[in-house]
Amino acid sequence: MKRTSRLLCIFLCAVMALLTGCESYDNFYNTFFKEEEPEYIQKIRIGVLEPMTGGDSADAQAEISGIELAHELFPQALGTDVELVYADNQSDVAVCPEAAQSLVDQGVSVILGSCKSTLSLAASDVIAEAEIPAIGITCINPIITETNRYYFRVCNIESFEGDAAARFVYYGKGASEAAVLKQEGDDFAQALVDAFKARMTSCTGREFSVTVVEYPAGTTDFTPYLFDLSTVSSGIVYFPVNAQTAANVIKQARDADYRFTWVGGSGWSSIESADPAYAASEDRYLDGVCYVAEVNIDSVETAMSQTFKEAYAQKYGAETVPPDGAALGFDAYLLALEGIKQAESWTDTQTIANKLYNVYKLEGVTGNISLNSKGDPIKEVSINMICPQGHESVYVVVPKWGD
């Protein structure tokens, strides 16, 4: 009876609305029948999947600072406000799937993160099942993009360091041969060495342009291995190893009067601190050492890099040096907006993912970003040299599309 009375009331109201004009009818329709659009349709939501607590939170904070700075400067896309939605994976691979799912449930268009490759991999299945594109920021493990077509990244994969080092040797130093010093059984180093050898072979047309010298784990006296390295006429040694071991070996080489040109990876950016006595010593045995830098915004000349540096200085202080993660986080946000703009939609996540594969020379802080068929970036990489006055960019590797 009550239901019949309510329906009769609604019917009478509808008749009155029709009699009093369209505006009244519209108000009636909106009140009784029109369904509210979900909040995620009304605005663009970009998810931030990061370890905001736990052991990895300090590294994540650098990425988050870059994302938030980019959001402050570019708060809209397609004429619609962008909202950042956060999920804390607590630096725990077991928590990652649940954190990623919470972002999916909140209707995000793109997910940014996570800091650490293991955390990104832990969220990968949820992201693939939801068919929502995710953009890694500093996660360098190639498996992330190789196994998930919805995962992209703005940082270079780890093996590209070997490729970039070889390009520097051949094009930057004009050398047609080089040596490699590598620990036996080190799979991570082997991947870098394989990339180095492949690029040197491609550049020189010679299969045996690289001489590999291996040493067993636990070696402390590198004298015999340094002698083997000295047989390579160019004097250039690629050494994919951590900064502490590198500093020890390079000092041994200098003490034995070997004047090699050492080339290492991004971990060497802090190599001076690996030897506690180096700062107080007058023996600057690390001068001339080169390494592949993760990011060197001072060597990148784009309008966006200048915008980033000025905005970062204004927000965090003129003396504050932006960490690599902040620059890459900024670029990840820009890449997310670019995918949404090209898709002309923020609800069609499959189209956003497809459009991200077509991104070509997007002007970013860390260079002009193009994505290859795996979702990895094709962009400039700086080779830095340690000098008395600091670290200077001495060569910029500019890979070509499809190369």
- Say which CATH class 160-293+384-397 falls into: alpha beta
d(CA 335, CA 337) in angstroms, rounded, equals: 5
- Residue spans per domain, the chain: 2-32, 45-156+297-371, 160-293+384-397
- For residue 220, count CB atoms less than 10 angstroms from its CB and return exposed for 0-12, middle for 13-18, buried for 19 or more: exposed
* Contact predicate 294/155, CB 8 Å: yes
Give the residue from 79, 154, 145, 92 showing the smallest Cα distance to 119.
92
Hey, what are 76's tokens? Answer: 């809209």
- Give the integer Cα–Cα distance in Å for 209 and 183: 20
Angstrom CA distances, 254 to 19, 224, 238, 272, stand at 97, 14, 16, 15
pLDDT for the residue numbered 402: 59
Residue pair 220/252 in contact by the 8 Å Cβ criterion: no
Ramachandran quadrant class, 91 (left: phi over 0; alpha: psi -120 to 50; beta: rest): left
Q: Write down the CATH superfamily of domain 45-156+297-371.
A: Response regulator (3.40.50.2300)
User: According to the model, what pLDDT value does residue 53 have?
Assistant: 97
pTM exceeds 0.85 for this model = no
What is the pLDDT, as a whole number, of residue 25?
A: 45
Backbone angles phi, psi at 217, to 5 degrees: -60, 140
pLDDT for 1 = 45
Q: Which amino acid is at 120?
A: S
45-156+297-371 and 160-293+384-397, same CATH topology: yes
What is the model's pLDDT at position 283? 87
Mean pLDDT per 10-residue interval, the chain, length 403 residues = 46 47 49 51 92 94 97 98 98 98 98 95 98 95 93 90 95 97 94 95 96 97 97 96 96 96 92 87 92 79 92 94 92 98 98 97 92 90 91 85 60
